[in-house]
Amino acid sequence: MSVVTGSSTRFGALGSNANRPDGNAKVQGGFAFSSDMWAENMLWGATMRSPHPHARLLSIDASEAWKIPGVECVVTADDVPGLPNYGLIMQDQPVFARVGDTVRYLGEPILAVAADHPETCRRALAAIKVRYEVLEPVTDPERCIDGSAPPLHPDGNVFRHQRIVSGDQTIIGEIQVEGTYEIGMQDQAFLGLEAALAVPDTGGDGVELYIATQWLHEDRKQIAACLGLPEEKVRLVLGGVGGAFGAREDISLQVHTCLLALRTGRPVRISYSREESFFGHVHRHPATIWMRHHADAQGRILRIESRMVFDGGAYCSTSPAVLINAITHTQGPYKCENATVDGWALRTNNPPCGAMRGFGVVQACFAHESQMDKLAAATGLSPVEVRLRNAMETGDRLITGQIMDSVAPVERCIRETDAIPLPPPMPMDANELLVPGGTGLTALPSNIRRGVGWGVSIKNLMYSEGFDDFSTARCRISNGAVHVKFATAEVGQGFVMLAQQIARSVLGVDDVYLDPIDTQVGSAGSTSASRQTWMSGGAVDAACRAVRDELLDRVATARGLVRQELRIDGTDIVDALTGTRIAVAEVIGDHEIDHTVEYHHPATEDLDENGQGNCHVAFAFVAHRAVVDVDPDLGLVKVVQIATAQDVGRVLNPLSVQGQVEGGIAQGLGLAVMEEIIVTDGKVRNPSFTDYLLPTFLDAPTVDMVLIEEPEPKSPLGAKGVGEPPCVSVTPAIANAIRNAIGRELPRVPVRPYDICL
Amino acid sequence: MSIPNDSLNESYSLNVNGTLREVRDAWLGESLLYVLRERLGLPGAKGACEQGECGSCTVIMDDRAVCSCLVMAASATESRILTVESLGENGRLSDVQQAFLDAGGVQCGFCTPGFIVAVHHLLDQNSDPDDEQIKEALSGNICRCTGYGRILDAVKVAARGRRDGVGS
C-alpha cells in the first residue's frame, strides 16, 4: 500500500492536498472547455428536434433552408452512412428520426444544419418544413406492464424485467410496515453545456472530435459505427468537461457534429443551449417503489417485499443496469437474506432516462429509508437504534446471495454521525436569510418547526454483472521526466491531480507530466459508478510501479547494488544494506522506460432468473443526518445542517474528498426539496434554470463530516470511490427530517410546498 | 468571423479590460457574452443558462457585476467592461484566484470565472463580509460540483488576506 496520510505526507504526494494541474487555467478563465473550442474556417451546427412526444414523421422539406446564404449543410437520417441507431446497452436510438418512422419523445433529433453563424442556423431550422402525424403518447409505464400500450419500438416496451427471489418466502413478520414511494425526474444540470468540435481529416476519410464526455472509447465505438468508419479513423480528444454526473455517458451531439464536418469538409462546432441540453441528455429515472418490511418485535428485518417500476422513457440508454442497481440495493445497508423483489424498466414516450450520480440506488434508498423510519415508529425504537440493530457487516449474505466482502463499517458510520453535535435552535431574531424561504419576511421564526431525520446507504462501486470495465494507463520516463497518459475523463473530480499524486508517491519525483487525454491509449472505462479512483488510480499505480521496478533493476545493475534492497523513500532511492541514498532525479535522465498496464477488477457474474449472483465488485457506505426548519403553513423548508460519516477507505486528497461529499449532498438536497423535471403528457414544462430550481449558495446547509478510513484490501490504493454515496442517502434523510417536523407521510421527492401545507 | 446575411450588422467599439476593442460587421443581436467569447478571444466568461440565472457569464460593467448573457453587446459601447482575464498581474493569480485553489473551490471549473469576478466585486466593496453576506452576494452564481462549502472557505481566506494586508 503506497498511501501515507498525516503531517508527514510529502506535498503533492498521496494524502496531500496537491495542486490541481488544471487549477490556474480554471481560475484565470483560460481552461478550454469543449464549448471554448474554435478552429479556422469553422461552421456552427444546430439540431432540429421533434415538438411532439409521439408522432409519425411524414416528410422533411429543407429546400428553403438551402437558399439562405451561409447555410452549408443539412443532414437527415438518409445521410447517416453507418448504423442508423446507437445506444450504450441496446442500439435502439436513431441518430435522426427517419421519414415514415415514429418519433418517440419530445426533443428527438430530426436533422442537423451547419452554417456560418448561430443565428443563420436558427433561421435555417425555422425555414425547414417538417410534417408529423401526431400520435397518442404513452406516458404511464404501468401500461407497458399490463400490455395496454401499443409497442413503441420494434424492440418492445420492456427494457428489463428482473426478479429477486431469495431465502424463505413464507416469513410473516410480527411487525409489518409498507408504503409506496415516488421519486421525481432529476436533471444532472452540469453547468458546462454539451459542446463538441469536429475537424475532418484532409480527404474526408476520418475525423477528430473534441468532446466533453465521460468515456472516450465507448463514444468512439458508437460514433464510428454510425459513421461507417473504422475506429482508428475516429480520434477523440477530451474537451474540457464542465461537470457530468451521468449525463455525458450517452451519445448526444457526437455523431451529428462529425457528420456535418465530414459532409462539409470543414470544422463544425455544436454548442447546446440550456433548453436544448434538457432535451439532449438522459435524466434520473422517475420511479414508483412499493415496499413491505417484515420484522420481529425487536425491529430486526426478517423479509422484504418490493415492486419497482422505473420509467426509462423513449430509449434504452442504461435503464437495464439502473434497474439492477435499484433492486439489488433493496435491503439498503441492513442485514436481510429473505426477499421478493419485482423490478421493471420500461419504455414510454417520456424523456429518455439513464445515468445520474447514484444510478438507481438513489431511488431504492428513498424507499428503504422511508421504511426504516416507519419501522422505528412501529417498534418504538429511535431512528438511530432501529438502523443500528440491523446494520450490515462484512460477511453478511445479501438478497442476491452475494457475500458482503467489502469493508462494511455501517455501525460506525451511524455512530460517528450521531456523535456530531446538533446545531443550535433558530434564534427568534434570526437573520431572515436563514429562515425558510429566505428574504421577504415570508416565514416567521416563531412559526418554524425543526425536524431531524436519518438516511443510511450502501452503494456499489464499479460496473456490475460480469462487465469488465478495465482501465489502462501508460507511464514512461523520457528525457529525464516522468510522463503519465490515460484516457480517463477528467470531469471536475480531480483525477488529473490524483494521477500526479500517485506517480509522485510511487516514483519519488516532484514533476509529473500528463499527456493529452485522448483515444491514443487504451480505454479507461467511464468516469462513473464511483470507479475512477479505484480503476484508473489502479492502472496509473500499476504502470508507475512497473516503471519504478525497471528503474530499480537498472540502477542495481549499473551500480552493483542488490536489487531486493532498493526502494524509493520520498524522492530518493535507498539501499537498505548500506543506507546509501540516491536522488531519483539524479538517475532518471539516464533511462528511457515505458510501460502500459491494464487494471481489471475481480470478475462478477450475471444475475440468474431469481436475481441470484455475485453481481457487484465492491460497496461503500455512508450515513446522513439532516436538520431542517419547516414553515408548515407556507410549505417552506430550510436545510440547516447535514451531518455525515462516510466510508472512504483511504483519503488520498482531503480537499477533494471534502468537495465530493459537499457537492453530492447539495445534489441530494436538490432532489429532496426542489429539483424536478416536470413532464405532462410527455412534454417537459420547465427546461430552463428559471423553472428547474437548483440549490444556490443560500440553500446549501452546513455540512459536518467524518471520513472513516478503513482501507479496503481489494482496492489498489485502499480507497473507495467517494463520488456517489454523498447524494444517495441525504435525500431520504431530509425527507425524514421534514416528516419528523410536521408529522406527514410525504411519500414522494422532491417534497413540494403543497405537499407540506395543503 | 462570418455574419448572418442581413442589414442588422454594424461595427462598433467596446472598452474591454482597459483597451478599446473594435467589433467589425457584427450582427446586432449578439450578446456581450457572445462577442467577448467568439469575436474578442476572451472565453473566460461562460454561457450556461442564457437567462441570467447562473452567473457563469459574470463580468464587471461600470463597477456593477452583470450577467453578460443579458447585455446586448452593441448597447455597451459607453461602458467600461472588465472580464476575468483582467485579474492578476503579468499572468500571476489574484488573491481571490489563489484562494479558490488553496481552499479547494475549483472542481469542473465552469462556474469558477463567474465566481471569481463576483467575489472580487464583493470584496472590493466589503472586505469583511460575514457568512450570510457572502452567501447572499454569491447566490446568483450557481455551482453544481462543490456544494459551495469550499467556495465559502475561499472567500473567507481571500477576505482575511485583504484585512491582514496580504495579497491583492
Strands A471-478 and B64-67: unpaired
Return the SS3 of A684: strand
Whole-angstrom distance, CA of residue B89 vs CA of residue B167: 12
Length of chain A: 758
Residue B2 has pLDDT above 80, yes or no: no
User: Please, which residues bridge with residue A211 across strands?
Assistant: A196, A238
- Per-residue pLDDT band for B5 (boundaries 50, 70, 90) equals low
Nearest to B147 among A123, A655, A700 (CB): A700
The amino acid present at B78, given as its one-letter code, is E
Class of the B9-86 domain?
alpha beta
Q: What's the pLDDT at A1?
A: 31
Whether omega before B113 lies within 30 degrees of 0, making that bond cis, reads no
Domain boundaries, chain A: 23-28+469-599, 34-136+193-241+248-280, 283-464+606-757
The amino acid present at B40, given as its one-letter code, is L
- Per-residue pLDDT band for A7 (boundaries 50, 70, 90) equals very low
Q: Give the residue from B110, B139, B143 with the most A CB atoms within 10 Å of its CB, the best one to mutate.
A: B110
Q: Each residue of A715-751: pLDDT tens digit? A: 999 999 999 999 999 999 999 999 999 999 999 999 9
Contact A95, A86 (CB under 8 A): yes
Backbone angles phi, psi at B136, to 5 degrees: -70, -45
C-alpha cell at A77: 437520417
Flag whether residue A663 sits within 8 Å of chain B, measured between CB atoms.
yes
Residue A659 with chain B: CB contacts under 8 Å: 104, 107, 145-147, 149-150
Sign, Cα dihedral of A82, A88, A89, A94: negative
Nearest alpha carbon to residue A621 among A442, A484, A456: A456
C-alpha cell at A33: 472547455
Residue A245 with chain B: CB contacts under 8 Å: 144
C-alpha cell at A235: 480520434
Cα A257-A259-A263 angle, rounded to 5 deg:
120
**Which residues 302-361 on chain A approach chain B with CB closer than 8 angstroms?**
none
Whole-angstrom distance, CA of residue A56 vs CA of residue A110: 12
Nearest alpha carbon to residue A528 among A593, A448, A463, A445: A463
Q: Each residue of A172-220: pLDDT tens digit? A: 999 999 999 999 999 999 999 999 999 999 988 999 999 999 999 999 9
The CA-based dihedral angle spanning residues A424, A426, A429, A432, taken in that order and rounded to the nearest 10 degrees? 130
Q: What's the pLDDT at A6?
A: 44
The whole-angstrom distance between A719's CA and the closest CA on chain B is 20
Flag whether residue A32 sits within 8 Å of chain B, measured between CB atoms.
yes
Q: What's the pLDDT at A3?
A: 36
- Per-residue pLDDT band for A439 (boundaries 50, 70, 90) equals confident
Statement: A283-464+606-757 belongs to CATH 3.30.365.10? yes
Whole-angstrom distance, CA of residue B14 vs CA of residue B40: 10
* Topology match between the domains A34-136+193-241+248-280 and A283-464+606-757: no
Whole-angstrom distance, CA of residue A212 vs CA of residue A221: 16
Cβ–Cβ contacts within 10 Å for residue A126, how many?
11
Residue A4 has pLDDT above 70, yes or no: no
- Across residues A612-628, what is the average pLDDT? 98
Return the SS3 of A163: strand
Sign, Cα dihedral of B131, B133, B137, B142: positive
Contact A573, A585 (CB under 8 A): no
Return the SS3 of B158: helix
Residue in chain A lying closest to B147 (CA)? A663
Nearest to A655 among B45, B143, B150 (CB): B150
Domain boundaries, chain B: 9-86, 95-163
**Which residues 682-701 on chain A approach chain B with CB closer than 8 angstroms?**
688-690, 694-698, 700
Q: Convert A275-301 to b/e letters by CB count within 10 Å (16 or more is b).
A: bbbbbbbbbbbbbbbebbbbbeeebbb
Q: How many CB pairs under 8 A join A and B?
A: 195
Give every strand in the sheet of A129-134, ordered side by side: A102-103, A55-61, A129-134
CA A670 to chain CA mean position, Å: 15
C-alpha cell at A673: 426539496
- Residues near A61 by Cβ (< 8 Å), separated by ≥ 6? A128, A129, A130
| Conformation bin of residue A437: beta by default, left when phi > 0, alpha when psi is -120 to 50 | left
Tell me how far apart the 2 most distant CA atoms of chain A are, in Å: 85
Residue A87 has pLDDT above 90, yes or no: yes
Helix (H) or strand (E) holding A200: strand A195-200
Q: What's the pLDDT at B165?
A: 81
Where does residue B19 rank: exposed (0-12), middle (13-18), buried (19+ CB within 10 A)?
A: exposed
Q: In the CATH scheme, what is the code of domain A34-136+193-241+248-280? A: 3.90.1170.50
Where does residue A133 rank: exposed (0-12), middle (13-18), buried (19+ CB within 10 A)?
A: exposed
Q: Each residue of A234-285: pLDDT tens digit? A: 999 999 999 999 999 999 999 999 999 999 999 999 999 999 999 999 999 9
* Topology match between the domains B9-86 and B95-163: no
Q: Each residue of A334-369: pLDDT tens digit? A: 999 999 999 999 999 999 999 999 999 999 999 999
Q: What Cα–Cα distance (Å) separates residue A628 from each residue in A351, A423, A440, A450, A550?
A: 32, 10, 20, 6, 57
Residue A5 has pLDDT above 50, yes or no: no
Q: Each residue of A477-501: pLDDT tens digit? A: 999 999 999 999 999 999 999 999 9
Strands A93-94 and A85-86: antiparallel
Give every strand in the sheet of A702-708, ordered side by side: A449-461, A618-631, A636-647, A702-708
Is ipTM beyond 0.95? yes
Residue B42 with chain A: CB contacts under 8 Å: 29
Nearest alpha carbon to residue B10 among B77, B53, B74: B74
- Across residues B49-72, what is the average pLDDT? 97
CB contact under 8 A, B150 and A491: no
Residue in chain A lying closest to B149 (CA)? A662
CB contact under 8 A, A29 and B113: yes
Give start and end residues of each alpha helix (H) in A281-360.
319-328
Q: What Cα–Cα distance (Å) separates residue A198 from each residue in A95, A251, A260?
A: 16, 14, 8
Give the fold, CATH level 3, of B95-163. DNA polymerase; domain 1 (1.10.150)
Give the fold, CATH level 3, of A23-28+469-599. Aldehyde Oxidoreductase; domain 4 (3.30.365)
User: Please, which residues bridge with residue B20 across strands?
Assistant: B15
Nearest to B48 among A193, A241, A658 (CB): A193
CB contact under 8 A, A433 and B132: yes
